Amino acid sequence: MEYILETNNIEKKYGHFKALNNLNMHIPKGAIYGLIGKNGAGKTTLIRLICGLQKVTSGEYTIFGISNNSRRIVETRKRVGGMVETPSICTDMTAEDNLKEQYKIIGLPSYDNLQEILKLVRLNNTGKKKAKHFSLGMKQRLGLAIALVGNPDLLILDEPINGLDPEGIIEIRELILKLNKEKGITFLISSHYLDELSKIATFYGIIDKGKIIKEIDKNELEQNFRKRTQITVTNIKECVKYLEEKELAYKVISDDTLDIYEKINVSELVIALSKRNCIVNNFQEKGESLENYYLNLIGGADND
């Protein structure tokens, strides 16, 4: 697999405190990588390092295959756009002037694509309106527009939907999906909104106490999300025979337990099985959310 970003045991110390501790992460090309972790886990620190706003204490990382220790890293970072914490907006300026400022900051010779970017984030009709009069959603979209200047291949967004109303959340979601699909931009997104993140992320990294404790592909994770009915029976052989006959998807878990992956009428199943000398002792609807999966991994919410 081709990785846009790879870290190798990176460490970041503040005094004696290790905010990042031998952290290893891998962002596949074209992914929307959801970075999940509780407050203080190290998400912002990690993002600030990758964006070049801070330096690692030890360890190494590569962006597009270029090491942070290489002289070429400065040039390579031009392929990375970021919106870290609050968007870097000049509130006394219009959307267009904010973008022009960014073109100057990154040293682009002309305002190529400026109107296209404004249109993309639907701020092309804001005219002389200054950013201070924008809604939170508009400000967030302007932040994204600024991050898009220079046509980045990797976009890093720290909590991009914080404080947004449902409409604003949907707009940002659709924008991210569009940029990923149409422009092939890889995303690193940190968010506390796991339900929302699960609507867009294709890959997840779970960070806890400065370490990535799990990286998992969306498809692998969805196996855990799959809704299923778990039943415990007295005669598993007969039960399997019945499910085979009915062509229902199932998985045997133990000598007396199996998961059925399709919608079933439990009473009908109980009656049908009882005719075959198989008693259903227990049944449970199962299926995890990203939140459950995450909480199980970090050992519940109170693992401090």
Place of tokens 């498809």: 219
Our CA dihedral for 204, 213, 144, 88, rounded to 10 degrees, sits at 170
- The Cα 279–Cα 232 span in angstroms is 9
| Contact indicator for 141, 147 with CB cutoff of 8 Å | no
Q: In this complex, which beta carbon is closest to ligand ATP, that of residue 45 or of residue 68?
A: 45
Give the binding range for ligand ATP (CB under 6 A) out of 41-49, 68-76, 163-171, 240-248: 41-49
The answer for 290, left when phi > 0, alpha when psi is -120 to 50, beta otherwise, is alpha
**Total residues at the site for ligand ATP (CB under 6 A)?**
11
Give the binding range for ligand ATP (CB under 6 A) out of 42-50, 166-174, 212-220, 288-296: 42-50
Residues paired with 81 in a beta bridge: 155
| Contact indicator for 240, 276 with CB cutoff of 8 Å | no
Residue whose C-alpha is closest to residue 76's, from 170, 4, 177, 7: 4
Q: In this complex, which beta carbon is closest to ligand ATP, that of residue 139 or of residue 211?
A: 211
40 binds ligand ATP (CB under 6 A): yes
Give the binding range for ligand ATP (CB under 6 A) out of 39-47, 122-130, 138-146, 160-168: 39-47
7 binds ligand ATP (CB under 6 A): no
Question: Of these, 1, 2, 16, 39, which contacts ligand ATP (CB under 6 A)?
Answer: 39
41 binds ligand ATP (CB under 6 A): yes
42 binds ligand ATP (CB under 6 A): yes
- The Cα 171–Cα 210 span in angstroms is 31
Question: Of these, 23, 32, 36, 37, which contacts ligand ATP (CB under 6 A)?
Answer: 37
Question: Of these, 31, 34, 44, 228, which contacts ligand ATP (CB under 6 A)?
Answer: 44
Where does this chain bind ligand ATP (CB under 6 A)?
Answer: 14, 17, 19, 37, 39-45
